Amino acid sequence: MADELDTHEKRHGIMGDTSWDTPVCVTDMGSVQARLTFTDVKAHEYVDTEDVLREKVALLSSMIRESDEMITYTGAGISVAAGIDDYATKVKDASITRASDVPRVKDWKDARPTVTHRVLTAMYESGYLKHWIQQNHDSLPQKAGFPQSSLNEIHGSLHDPGTPPSSPTPSPNHHQTHHQSPARFSKPGGTV
């Protein structure tokens, strides 16, 4: 078993059942690191058994129903299915998450929201999700109908002139080293 899965918490989180099976490595990247800095986790990909996945979904569902102030924090991975590349993924087309029918957009501004963007919007509209913090500025939450007033785009926004992306021609999922300063947060009634 890979070092990154050497404890139950690393395999299933602190709320996971100790009887759950260990995830199976489906993409072995050898010694390739998931990130160049700040971690020594390898770029392998794992999947749970269907039974464990079903139990994890049930646990997540109960956590969502019980939450009064749920927020979500997302990154480039949720936009891959829209045809926007995730610069950090090492396995690229070999990834199990890269479906063969993923659109290939030439201009990321033409990308359409994914199922994830639409589900998060529906969760907001149903009162479950209170706020969305995202690293992308690809406009897909807004295209899915998510309100700008409940969205923080930490690398800038194409929809909020008060917090433009910090590069004149940004890649929507590229983590930039220069951020606008001071940090600004949109909330109902104005920008903080």
- DSSP readout, the chain? --GGGSSHHHHH-TTS-TTSPPPEEEE--TT-BSSSSS---B--EEE--HHHHHHHHHHHHHHHHH-SSEEEEE-GGGGGGGT---TT-SSGGGSTT--TT----SSGGG----HHHHHHHHHHHTTSEEEEEES--SSHHHHTT--GGGEEETT--SS-TTS--SSSS--TTPPPS---SS---EETTEE-
Q: What is the mean pLDDT of residues 123-129?
A: 97
The model's confidence at residue 10, banded by pLDDT at 50, 70 and 90, is: confident
Residue 1: its pLDDT value, please? 42
Q: Active-site positions?
A: 155
Q: What is the pLDDT of residues 143-180, one digit of tens each?
A: 999 999 999 988 877 666 666 666 544 445 444 333 33
Of residues 92 and 106, which shows the higher confidence score?
Answer: 106
Q: What is the pLDDT of residues 80-90, one digit of tens each?
A: 888 887 666 66
Of residues 53 and 181, which shows the higher confidence score?
Answer: 53
Residue 166: its pLDDT value, please? 60
The model's confidence at residue 181, banded by pLDDT at 50, 70 and 90, is: very low
Of residues 78 and 120, which shows the higher confidence score?
Answer: 120
Q: What is the pTM of this model?
A: 0.74
Q: What is the pLDDT of residues 66-105, one digit of tens each?
A: 999 999 999 888 888 888 876 666 666 666 666 566 677 8
Q: What is the mean pLDDT of residues 125-130?
A: 96
